[in-house]
Amino acid sequence: MLPIKMILNHNEIILKEILPKKSFFFNITEKLRIVFSIFYLAIAVFFVTNTLNSSFWLFSIIVIGIFCNALYITFFRWILKYWKLKNNCYVITNQRIVIVEKFNGKILKYKKLNEIEQVNAEMNANYFGNIIFGKPESLSGENNDNFYFFRKRGINFTEDKYAFLSVENINEIIPVFNELGLKVNKTFY
């Protein structure tokens, strides 16, 4: 067990504590996002190099904004994900799932078990992957989602709101969800 000092509700019992592995699980959607983000960064670099000699300063500011956005999508969002993996841990109780800061026990996110409609486990053959509580975010998003530059078309970079990322031995965690009455949809990549 991990030495977590989080505040529990009345009659709440910790069933499982999970420490995420400090590496990433790439499903098909994430691999396509990476390809798109590299392509987006290449286009942004092309625009920046072409606007360096331009005297139209408003266009230069817009291009710098696009370049910064491309840098975030390509690199900096991975740094933020790694920081979260390094500093957080996951807790399953008899009342809720919780994402907790490791060092101080502060609850960052939680979802009550009765609010969870579905649990999706995306994993590889070694049972390493992500556990998503709710419908996983798709590559193209929903029909009414807004994207960076277009209204109806684009790549969705929205992270799953409630997810345990980079979890090892998911096969040992699935029985806990089954005991709590939650059905787990398994996807192997």
- The pLDDT of residue 146 is 53
Average model confidence (pLDDT) for the chain?
86
Confidence tier at 103 by pLDDT (50, 70, 90):
confident
The pLDDT tens digits of the residues spanning 145-186 come to: 554 445 555 677 778 889 999 999 999 999 999 999 999 999
Q: 98 has which bridge partners? A: 91, 110
pLDDT above 60 for 57: yes
78-106 per-residue burial string, b: 16 or more CB within 10 A, e: under 16: eeeeeebbeebbbbbbebbbbbbeeeeee
pTM across the whole model: 0.81
Neighbours of 150 (CB within 10 A): 9
Query: What mean pLDDT is predicted for residues 2-24?
Result: 84
In the chain, the percentage of residues whose pLDDT exceeds 90 is: 58
- The DSSP output letter for 136 is P
- The pLDDT of residue 19 is 92
- The pLDDT of residue 148 is 47
pLDDT above 50 for 58: yes
- The pLDDT of residue 4 is 60
- The pLDDT of residue 144 is 54
